[in-house]
Structure 1
Amino acid sequence: MPELPEVETVCRTLNSLIAGKTIKQVTVSLPRIIQKPDDPQLFAALLEGRTFQSVERRGKFIRLLLDGIVLVSHLRMEGRYGLYREEDPVENHTHVIFHFTDGTALRYKDVRQFGTMHLFEPGMEFQSAPLKKLGLEPLSDTFTFAAFDEAIGRRSTKIKPLLLNQEVIVGLGNIYVDEALHEAGIHPERTADSLSRSEKKRLHESIVSTLGSAVEAGGSSIKSYVNGQGEMGMFQHKLRAYGRTGEACRECGNEIVKFVLGGRGTHVCLRCQKPPKGSSVAPAMKRHSAGKSESNAVKRRLDGAVSRGSKPKEGKAE
């Protein structure tokens, strides 16, 4: 977090806020965020006097284009940008400030301190880390079914970890992989090589539609995400699977369950997303269902006893 829809929203917001603004001075209070060059003073000197032209996205990375230089920024888990007046109090965990000649300032705040910034000559950002090895852009014209089919190939990798691999497809994280797989009716433990052509087509369409809808809604405000104007996204109200453990599936009414796959919390409907043979989640869900059925049976007996005006017998339910 944030994933592609949130980063895209931040880029669009920043583009409307800072395009045309000229940097007077740059203040860096946490040097390790500045990755290239590794000298914060040189970083500041290279930016001072330059004007922001536009803000674009590559995967989960923000590309801030200035005259003669490109700033590549990665928000990681909780990085955020905001435009302020110079006289506004500086909040805690504000690590980089771009002071503009018009009396405003773009501030970068990062509670977890995992964010990074790199400077490149225009065009050179694609020739080295962190952008060099990024995969397909799912909201671009190049993300055709043929390109998607070739990217996932006949790999024996489970489909969720494969979709999370930024060298295959960029921008997808835990939220939107769970959402796309649910919409496509594909269990996260299925391997890529087990998917039929029609299933891959459904998945390709679901990735595009899920991300497109999330961008339109301004992303999902889960944990601390807000855009550059401090506004929350609204897609969390439309989530089909992610974060809905124990709630009814919007498609069939079955319960959404959560398990861990590859170290990531994973949300599925076991009716809409049939587990593959040997799935680690299926036996656990059977036990869960059996326990729930027994609990419901006890509740029905107790409710029946109350409606008849009799006191339920104490002791273990049979």
Structure 2
Amino acid sequence: MILKTDTASTEPTPAVTRAAAILRAGGLVAFPTETVYGLGAVATNARAVARIFEAKERPHFDPLIIHLGSADWLERCVASVPPEAGRLAERFWPGPLTLVLPKRENIPDIVTSGLPTVAVRMPAHPVARALIHATGAPVAAPSANRFGQLSPTTAQAVEEELGERVDLILDGGPTQLGIESTIVALGETGPRLLRPGPVTLEELCECLGREVAVAIGPAATPESPGMLLRHYAPRTLLRLFDPSTAPKAALACRVGLLAFRAAPTSHEFAVVETLSATGDLREAAANLFAALRRLDAAGVDAILAEPVPETGLGRAIMDRLRKAAAPRA
């Protein structure tokens, strides 16, 4: 069931109040954040969290992110907060930054995949914050889609993906950023970027006044979501594509193009989706998953994705495209 809610309200709407009651009772609620839609359960309710893995068909070795109502809630979930974590939270919370920190014993192992660390963030979306506060507890929430598929940026996309597997879907309209949060681990070896996102590597380095190590790539034991080789993928075969070098013979079948700026005139495509006519990386990120979802629904034989510049937010876009184009198991 989808319930529309007022994103401008500073008080819990009837839809949010109902959703919070479902969460407290051990149910699953899909809700908007500024990044993508999340599939939430109360983080300390192991049985409810297990339903997330079941609904998404998600492997239990892939940990979840816990969403907090305020920065003060950190102490509910983490054992210690290094000074650099405090600086990042002060600068970027509420917002699309996830911190990986030592966990408290009250956090069930199913949330962290048995790891001694936990991923936490404070979302900026008013509906997400209202829901978490109305629930009165931290909420564990990965993206509200089947595992490995495209992250949803609308309530309708959640319904198409999960349907009756979710007890309630809160509709707060399309998400603003359209791409998952940046993830940074903070430990004895210093800050490490585990997943690029809306908070860029340059912004992290500027905030901390030091280099941040980049630890992006497939991991045998993921430290955070989004670290597996194949992820964020449409059902249709996707490949990265450079129109300046690709021969026309490469387009022998019915092909859809995910263009960064505009479709090249040297090739013919059955369907074209443009991420940003002006080359704006933030606009491109916001449009990424919705554009891939439309191409996936267009009935093409393959999707070719044009690379974007790998600076700033472009790193996050290319991370998602490379994972979507990774070989299928």
Q: State TM-score, norm by structure 1.
A: 0.24
Query: Larger relative CO (CA 8 A, sep 6+): 1 or 2?
Result: 2
Q: Computing the radius of gyration over CA atoms, which structure comes out larger, 1 or 2?
A: 1
Q: State TM-score, norm by structure 2.
A: 0.24
